[in-house]
Amino acid sequence: MRRIAVIGGVIALALAIAVAWAREDRAVVQIYPTADRLPANLLRVYIVFDRPMSAGESAEHLTLLDDTGRAVEKPFLQLEEELWDASGQRVTVLFDPGRIKRGLRANLESGPPLVAGRRYTLVVDGGWRDANGRPLGAPMAKTFEAVADDRTIPVVFDWTIDAPASGTRDALVLRFPEILDRALLASTISIVDPSGASVRGGVSIGVQERSWTLTPDHAWQEGNYQLRVASELEDIAGNSLRRVFDADMTTSPASREDVQSVVTRAFTITGARPSRPTR
């Protein structure tokens, strides 16, 4: 009897290993932001999967553990409809804004979901089902340290523009002093050439979402270019170019009416590549 149980156990284990092997350990492709030090008032996380997923499962299969291994109680905003992109492969998860915003009852009762100085692990468990109802199988975790709150708006004029030389198809690189929102980076920035046309090319987002690179389809011309950034661009704490996520009205207004809906910054491309990036 015992022998049968042992053989059965071995077969079950072998099957489990085979299934895990066949499935490949990459169901969750990436969790954004990718940095491992994040402001305690972090607002938005993106989880990217390698396959279309079932909706309505994040509450059950996404957990935030603190540094004692305990699950943080209700850290995320629960929505009737989860925020998936059209492919069903990327879900947006918002930390509960009521707990982040100062003065709200949720913040007073439960405190903010993240406390600066502590370490957290975000766990996507293997039970999350794909669109065909199959569990992912392999879990994925991201550990990070919460650091001081970020309650300031990103300023385009604080960015570094690493401009290439004219006549080349070298990449233009923008570097940011803080982490910006991965998704908005892909859709809010454009470069306008001296004739006023938008420069076409391939865009990539750099390490820890702190740079943006454009490799143009055609060579750069000599002359005055413009960096144009839609003011809806946010950092990872939800501060946009013209609005602080959670403003203390007694010290500063929430919205900056002086910031235009598109922020424009001029720069020049010359024959010689500048020895130092423009700041």
Partner 1 sequence: MSVDTRTRLRPSAAPARFALVASTIIVAALSVASVASYRVGATAAVVPSAEAPLPPGFVQGTPDLKSAGALTFGPNGTLFVGDSRGGAVFALSVDDPTPDPHRGEVAINDLEKRLGKLLSLAADQVVIRDMAVNPATQHMFFSVARGRGVDAAPAIVRATLDGELSLVPLDNARYAKLALSDPPSDTAKTPWGASSRSMAITDLAFTNGELLIAGLSNEAFASTLRRAAFPFTKGARATTLEIFHTSHDKYETAAPIETFLPYTVKGKPALLAGYGCAPLAVFNMSDIDREKHVRGTTLAELGGGNRPSDMVAVEYNGKKSVIIANSDRTLMRMRATDIDKSEPVTIASTMENPIIGTPYTALAVVGVMQLDVLNAENIVMVLRDIETGSIKVRTYPTKYL
Instruction: Find, among 228, 236, 172, the residue nearest to 204 by Cα.
Output: 172
Q: Which residue's CB is nearer to partner 1, number 55 or number 147?
A: 55
Scanning residues 183 to 222, which ones bind partner 1 (CB under 8 A)?
A: 183-190, 198-208, 213-214
Count Cβ atoms within 10 A of the Cβ of residue 229 and give its class: 0-12 exposed, 13-18 middle, 19 or more buried. Answer: buried
Q: Greatest CA span in the chain, whole angstroms?
A: 84
Q: Which residue's CB is nearer to partner 1, number 152 or number 255?
A: 255
Using the structure block, give the residue that is written with the tokens 């169901």: 27
Scanning residues 32 to 51, which ones bind partner 1 (CB under 8 A)?
A: 34, 43-44, 48, 50-51
Residue from the set 63, 66, 67, 129 that interacts with partner 1 by CB under 8 A: 129
Q: Is 105 in the site for partner 1 (CB under 8 A)?
A: yes
Using the structure block, give the residue that is written with the tokens 């396959």: 51
Residue from the set 27, 38, 53, 140 that interacts with partner 1 by CB under 8 A: 53
Residue from the set 1, 4, 68, 80 that interacts with partner 1 by CB under 8 A: 80
CA distances from 99 to 9, 195, 228 (A): 46, 48, 34
From 29-37, 63-71, 154-162, 218-226, span contacting partner 1 (CB under 8 A): 29-37
Residue from the set 39, 42, 47, 90 that interacts with partner 1 by CB under 8 A: 90
As given in the structure block, the two tokens for residue 184 are: 């908005």
Local structure of 210: helix, strand or coil: coil
Q: Which residue's CB is nearer to partner 1, number 124 or number 214?
A: 214
Local structure of 224: helix, strand or coil: strand
Q: Is 147 in the site for partner 1 (CB under 8 A)?
A: no
Shortest Å distance, C-beta 102 to partner 1:
6
Any bridge partners for residue 18, and if so which? none
Q: Which residue's CB is nearer to partner 1, number 87 or number 270?
A: 87
Local structure of 140: helix, strand or coil: strand
Q: Is 234 in the site for partner 1 (CB under 8 A)?
A: yes
Shortest Å distance, C-beta 186 to partner 1:
4
Q: Which residue's CB is nearer to partner 1, number 167 or number 202?
A: 202
Binding characters for partner 1, 245-264, by CB under 8 A (x = yes): xxxxxx--xxx---------
Instruction: Find, among 18, 40, 38, the residue nearest to 111 by Cα.
Output: 40
Q: Are 82 and 62 in contact (CB under 8 A)?
A: no
End-to-end CA distance of the chain: 76
Q: Which residue's CB is nearer to partner 1, number 11 or number 87?
A: 87
Shortest Å distance, C-beta 44 to partner 1:
7
Any bridge partners for residue 123, and if so which? 63, 141
Q: Are 218 and 258 in contact (CB under 8 A)?
A: no
Q: Is 58 in the site for partner 1 (CB under 8 A)?
A: no
- DSSP annotation of 219: P
Q: Which residue's CB is nearer to partner 1, number 96 or number 162?
A: 96
